[in-house]
Amino acid sequence: MGEWGGNDYYNCFFQRKQIPEVRTYVPFVVAGIMRGIKDVIQQGATRVLVPSIYPLGCLPLYLTSFPDNNTSAYDNLGCLRNFNDFAAYHNRYLNRALANLQNQFPNVSIVYGDFYGAILTLIRNPSSYGFNQNTLLTACCGTGGRYNFNFGTVCGAAGINPCSNPAKYVHWDGIHLTDEAHRRITDILVKDMLSKFRCVV
């Protein structure tokens, strides 16, 4: 399964809805994810990986869209605490729903993919994974501002070129991750996933 929910939540926040209100939407988003999982199971899937949402407060998209003059709004990584807390809330809700769904389909392996935790691992330990400490929250492809992200001139627009060394960046365009970040996330998660999927390698 692909990541579900991130766009739904951003659209709410972009409309300046507050986190307490958006939290009330989590059950509906997760219910949609459960329907999607049931659909692929009914199509014959026997192993389903369901990813968490990302630590939203670490994305250049959020850091640029919702700046805060209060330094306590940021954690020691430079990420926005309230949006990461919200993402963690969604992920806990999702994990509980997956446990219930697993009971309904005991012959199917339904595995939670902790992309949230894996991305934070990369940001906390950049040198261990080959990333540049100085660009951890910066988009490789973009322009303007502290996080190299601007809605008016996004990656792909005329004259906007990617950085020369994308493998040193976690963030590609401020919304999506680089290929290297995805490769490292796979390295972090795959062993756990293989055992839960009962795969023999």
Model confidence over 20-71: pLDDT tens digits?
999 999 999 999 999 999 999 999 999 999 999 999 999 999 999 999 999 9
What was the pLDDT predicted at 200? 56
In a domain, 149, yes or no: yes
In a domain, 145, yes or no: yes
CB 99 within 8 A of CB 165: no
Q: What is the pLDDT of residues 87-143, one digit of tens each?
A: 999 999 999 999 999 999 999 999 999 999 999 999 999 999 999 999 999 999 998
Q: In angstroms, rounded to a whole number, what is the distance separating the alpha carbons of residues 55 and 83? A: 7
What is the arithmetic mean of pLDDT over 1-25? 88
Residue 152 pLDDT: 82
Domain limits at 166? 6-196
CATH number of the domain bearing residue 45: 3.40.50.1110
b/e code 10-31 from CB counts within 10 Å (16+ = b): bebbeeeeeeeebeeebeebbe
Q: Is residue 1 part of a domain?
A: no
pLDDT at 71 (0 to 100): 95
pLDDT at 3: 73
201 domain residue, yes or no = no
Residue 98 included in any domain: yes
Cα separations in angstroms, 46 against 1, 108, 115, 146, 156: 12, 5, 21, 44, 38
